[in-house]
Amino acid sequence: MRILVVDDVRYVRQHLDRLLSEHGHSVVTAPSGVRAIEILNEQDAFDVVITDLVMPGIDGLELFQRARRIDRPDETSGRPVPVFYLITALRPTLSTAQREPNMLQRALDLGFAGVLLKPIDNEHLLRELSNLEQTGCLKR
């Protein structure tokens, strides 16, 4: 599986790169939403994008929306829209719910496959990716 990991924290990118590579995935990393858009425009056929929510410039929700607008040939040409997962340290509490109109639920409503809370549960992430492959949810 080809995966793009987007996070402004180097340690998170390195950790996910190592974890996913050790489990046979091809991983590309980006330090920002802006760079991720460039990569998505330049390179074909990412199966999955794992993106942080809160980043300077383009946050994870905006990245998702912009990635959906990238001009793509029809799906049979090999450039389908990747499956998106959101990773975040944000916890749904009363204070964040009042400050933000439930960004985590908004991510799911937009079409993210899932939201993973930091610190990432490695086994849970690997199961999610395995389930994508087994259920045929990836558009190849």
Are the C-beta atoms of residues 91 and 118 closer than 8 Å to each other? no
Q: Is residue 90 part of a domain?
A: yes
**pLDDT bucket at 33, cuts 50 / 70 / 90:** very high
Range(s) of the domain holding residue 28: 2-135
- Number of structural domains (the chain) is 1
What's the pLDDT tens digit per position in 52-89? 999 999 999 999 999 988 866 555 454 568 999 999 98
CA 80 vs. chain centroid, Å, equals 15
Q: Which residues contact 8 (CB under 8 A, 6 or more apart)?
A: 31, 32, 52, 55, 56
pTM of the model: 0.87
Q: Is residue 42 part of a domain?
A: yes
